[in-house]
């Protein structure tokens, strides 16, 4: 089992899918990385060599923000929106959907569990 960017890649999966277990790498990025390392998309994740792993690590370090760096980038982007006081920032601050979805019904994921009739926001 290879360990790349602090993530254990799963066994018995195609490399294209295994790389998506790294936060910040999707299918498209995984394919680009595998093209640069000259690995087949459908090669098994437990059949890669140490040289292949080193090549993937080098590409990730040089070109892609992954794991903690990526999470920090996203958090900073959201914080910037909130500091600006723009509409999206206000929606983030209030914990409401910020991409135009309706909130009269639905939006429960963003708003949290329902409150009873006696519970008010303070």
Q: Is the pLDDT of residue 60 over 90?
A: yes
Range of the domain at 79: 71-111
* CATH code of 57's domain: 1.10.8.50
Residues 13 and 51 in one domain: yes
Q: What is the mean pLDDT of residues 76-87?
A: 96
Rounded CA-CA distance 102/84 in Å is 24
Q: Is the pLDDT of residue 118 over 90?
A: no
Residues 23 and 56 in one domain: yes
Beta bridge partners of 7: 4
Task: Specify whether the CB–CB gap between 60 and 36 falls below 8 A.
Answer: no
Task: Specify whether the CB–CB gap between 48 and 39 falls below 8 A.
Answer: yes
Residue 1: the pLDDT is 72
pTM for this predicted structure: 0.79
Residues 106 and 85 in one domain: yes
Mean pLDDT across the chain? 92
């Amino acid at each position: 089992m290879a360990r790349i960017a602090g993530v254990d890649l799963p066994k018995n999966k195609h490399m294209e899918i295994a790389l998506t277990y790294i936060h910040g790498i999707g299918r498209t990025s995984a394919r680009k990385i595998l093209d640069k390392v000259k690995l087949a998309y459908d090669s098994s994740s437990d059949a890669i060599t140490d040289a292949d792993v080193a090549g993937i690590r080098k590409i990730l370090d040089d070109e892609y923000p992954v794991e903690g760096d990526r999470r920090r980038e996203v958090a900073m982007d959201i914080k910037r929106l909130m500091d600006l006081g723009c509409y999206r920032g206000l929606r983030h601050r209030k914990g409401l959907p910020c991409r135009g979805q309706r909130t009269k019904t639905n939006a429960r994921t963003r708003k949290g569990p329902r409150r009873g009739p006696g519970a008010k926001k303070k």
